[in-house]
Structure 1
Amino acid sequence: MSKKTLLILGDILMIAILTFFGFATHGETETAYLPRMGTTFFPVLIAWFLITPWLGLFEEQVITNPKNLWRIAPAALFAAPLAAVLRSVLLHASVLPLFVLILGGFNMLGMMIWRWIYILLAQRTKI
Structure 2
Amino acid sequence: MLWTAVGDALVLLGVSLAGFATHQSNPAGGRLLAMVVPLLAAWGLTAFLGGLYQPGWVTWKSTAWRAVLAGIAAGPLAAVLRGLWLGSAPVIPVFALVLSGTTALGMGLWRILAMWLFKPKGRA
Quick check: 2:63–2:111 contact (8 Å CA) kept in 1?
no
Cross-structure match for 2:19: 22
Cross-structure match for 1:9: 6
Following superposition, the deviation at residue 101 of structure 1 comes to 0.4
Post-superposition Cα deviations, 1:71-114, rounded to whole Å, max 9, x if no partner, equal 12321122111111110011231000000000000000001111
1:121 partner letter: L
**C-alpha RMSD of matched pairs (Å):** 1.9
Cross-structure match for 2:119: 123
Of residues 88, 110, 113 in structure 1, which corresponds to 2:106? 110
Distance 1:121 1:102, change over 3 A: same
CA distance in 2, matches of 1:11, 1:68: 13
1:39 aligns to 2:34 (yes or no)? yes
Gaps of 5+ in 2: none
Runs of 4+ in 1 over 2 A off after TM superposition: 59-64
Of residues 77, 91, 98 in structure 1, which corresponds to 2:86? 91
| Percent pairwise identity | 35
Gaps of 5+ in 1: none
TM-score of the aligned structures, taking structure 1 as reference length:
0.85
CA distance in 1, matches of 2:29, 2:119: 37
* Secondary structure at 2:49 match in 1: helix
How many residue pairs were aligned?
121
**Larger CA deviation: 74-83 vs 109-118:** 74-83
Post-superposition Cα deviations, 1:50-78, rounded to whole Å, max 9, x if no partner, equal 11111111233555513442112321122
Cross-structure match for 2:46: 51
Distance 1:19 1:109, change over 3 A: same
